Amino acid sequence: MNFMIDIETCDNESTAIVASVAIVDFNLGKKYEFNDLLKSTKFVKFNIHEQKSMGRTVGHETMAWWKKQSPEVFNYSFLPDINVLSVSDGLKEIKKYMYDKMMEHGKKSCMMWARGNLDSMCLDSLSRYYNIKPIAPFNMWMDVRTVITCMKDSATSFGYCNVPNFDDSIVIKHKPDHDVCFDVMQICNGE
């Protein structure tokens, strides 16, 4: 059992405020359609003000970078709306999604995938702030970029590869549900 996860943060430190999380389950070796993955993705938006009051960090360079992104992408992860959850409830939602998917497939353990290690570090740190068990042990995390670079013989691709018969212009970069689905497609469908 595998889960691809992507977070959007206000900093590039493990103590960053986590604005949102997307997670999707997948099986290595299976080919996927982007829209089917999107339908199966869980998206959670966290309460940013709650985290700020707990001392989580905001990086000026990170926020300057976010200001250069499209308003649609920024608003999707950062602007409060009726879907915003407390950190505790949001982490419970992610764990429930994982538990339900593992039970559905009769699995007792999983591998967690993310693009780099910031996602795992931030989620573990966030969990510790709230005395909640992390969503997965540290040794269960895998790096998407490394796998794509090694397995897809794309040493100059910087962790991206071609997905045949897929128009990647439909992928909205830095929108976490799109990012997780595209990463799954690159690992499973890419060349």
pLDDT digits (tens, 9 = 90+) for 127-149: 999 999 999 999 999 999 998 88
User: What is the percentage of the chain residues whose pLDDT exceeds 90?
Assistant: 87
| Residue 53 tokens, joined | 């009051």
Residues contacting residue 151 through CB under 8 Å, at least 6 positions apart: 187
The domain tally of the chain equals: 1
Helix axes 60-67, 71-78, angle to 10 degrees: 130
CATH code at position 185: 3.30.420.10
Residue 155 predicted with pLDDT over 60: no
DSSP codes, 21-75: EEEEEE-TT----HHHHHHH-EEEEE-HHHHHHTT-B--HHHHHHHHTS-HHHHH
Residue type, 151: M
pLDDT digits (tens, 9 = 90+) for 85-131: 999 999 999 999 999 999 999 999 999 999 999 999 999 999 999 99
User: Contact at 8 Å (CB) between 55 and 36?
Assistant: no
Domain range enclosing 97: 2-189
SS3 label, residue 4: strand
| Residue 144 tokens, joined | 């998407």
DSSP codes, 74-135: HHHHHS--TTEE-HHHHHHHHHHHHHHHHHHTT-S--EEEESSSHHHHHHHHHHHHTT---S
Q: How far apart are CA 14 and CA 83, in angstroms?
A: 24
pLDDT digits (tens, 9 = 90+) for 43-88: 999 999 999 999 999 999 999 999 999 999 999 999 989 999 999 9
